[in-house]
Amino acid sequence: MGKRAVSFLILVLLVFYSFRTAESKAAASLEFLPEAYDVLIAEEYEDNGLVFSVDHAEIISGASESQPPGSFGSKGSGLASAVPALAIRYRFINDNPTKKINLDNPFLFMLNDEYGNQYRLLPQPAGYTAPTAVYPANFPSVYPGQQVEETVFFEAPIPESRSLFLFVNATNINIPESIVVKISVRKVEGREAMLLPGKDAALSEEEIVKEPVGPLKILSPLNGVSVAPGETVHVEVGVPEKTLSPEAIFVVIPSYVLRDDKIVYHYDVTVPKDQNGPLSVVVIGKWYQGDEEEILSDSILLNVDTAAAL
């Protein structure tokens, strides 16, 4: 883990312990801290023993081989395109001991970034030599304990993008809602190839570093507002327009830490029923500019009125 990641965890822990009121609750909440956040390409989705994750992503260049989108193991006709592509390798694991999955129909994919841009599914590039699929012997059946690995290809994201969201339509295995997996662009191999044709790589990195970030502010509630024990408080967080969106936001109160990777900027925080005295609410934002990490925070104190709960 890098020095910046360690300093971030130390910051969270110092904030956490300095305002702690219940040691047992605080200890339990540490499991929410993203200790391995910097080494993850993406998060994992799990539902009833069915696990979907992304473990590798890279930018590749060269011609593309035609392939019907969303088709398991198809090979295509060799039509070419010179645009860079993003290769995403996903893994589907059947960890349900009592369920056999039938993948007669493929998963359907969509890729967006934090700006709302959607990236087209592409054919397999002709020069891509790595295996694109690993299936169990009895595929399309996936028995308990078996897994499927496939690589899907999309248009390369814009250089300014920092977070990608892979939407997976898994109604073919009776999951009614889309699976959403977040991919950190800074962990994508070869991301320098995302630069527009003709742009100087060093200059583009410099431009990225100069993008403004923060400040991160708690917009609501106001500092010093009175609340009651057990009350749910709506916390609104914001950053100025035309600044880089944070990659993660953490909301810290003495009894737990809430992590937001989708950057929704609004959160419901419950005042502990046994809170006695002012309650601190701290928000921490984490940004990446190139390979550099930047951390900003803001905090307020809520006046917990125990008489209001009577």
pLDDT score at 222? 92
- In DSSP notation, 232-263 reads EEEEEEE--TTSBPPSEEEEEETTEEEEESS-
pLDDT score at 39? 37
At residue 225, does pLDDT exceed 70?
yes
Q: Report percent pLDDT > 70 for the chain.
A: 69
Greater pLDDT, 120 or 187: 120
Lowest mean pLDDT among 31-35, 119-123, 239-243: 31-35
pLDDT score at 82? 60
Write out pLDDT tens, residues 77-129: 444 446 689 999 999 999 999 999 999 998 999 998 878 889 999 988 887 88
Within a 10 A sphere around the Cβ of 75, how many other Cβ atoms? 13
Residues present in the chain in total? 310
- Listed residue (104, 106, 103, 102) closest to 68, CA to CA: 106
User: Where residue 179 falls among pLDDT bands split at 50, 70, 90?
Assistant: confident
Averaged confidence pLDDT in the chain = 75
At residue 3, does pLDDT exceed 80?
no
pLDDT score at 30? 26
User: Where residue 289 falls among pLDDT bands split at 50, 70, 90?
Assistant: low
Average pLDDT (218-240) is 91
- Listed residue (97, 34, 20) closest to 284, CA to CA: 34
- Listed residue (60, 147, 63) closest to 103, CA to CA: 147
Domains of the chain: 3-36+211-309 (2.60.40.10), 42-187 (2.60.40.1240)
Kindly state the greatest CA–CA separation across the chain. 74
User: Where residue 213 falls among pLDDT bands split at 50, 70, 90?
Assistant: low
User: Where residue 154 falls among pLDDT bands split at 50, 70, 90?
Assistant: very high
- In DSSP notation, 73-91 reads T---------S-EEEEEEE
At residue 165, does pLDDT exceed 90?
no
pLDDT score at 214? 67
Average pLDDT (187-193) is 77
Residue 137 CA to its chain's centroid (Å): 33
Tokens representing 231? Answer: 């009350």
User: Where residue 42 falls among pLDDT bands split at 50, 70, 90?
Assistant: low
pLDDT score at 226? 92
* 6 vs 55: CA distance, rounded Å: 23
Greater pLDDT, 181 or 72: 181
C-alpha distances in angstroms, 254 versus 24, 32, 33, 238, 274? 11, 13, 13, 22, 12
User: Where residue 150 falls among pLDDT bands split at 50, 70, 90?
Assistant: very high
Greater pLDDT, 106 or 185: 106
pLDDT score at 67? 45
Which one-letter DSSP state was computed for residue 193?
G
At residue 203, does pLDDT exceed 60?
no
pLDDT score at 121? 92
Lowest mean pLDDT among 11-15, 119-123, 159-163, 171-175: 11-15
At residue 206, does pLDDT exceed 50?
no
Tokens representing 149? Answer: 């690995």
At residue 288, does pLDDT exceed 70?
yes
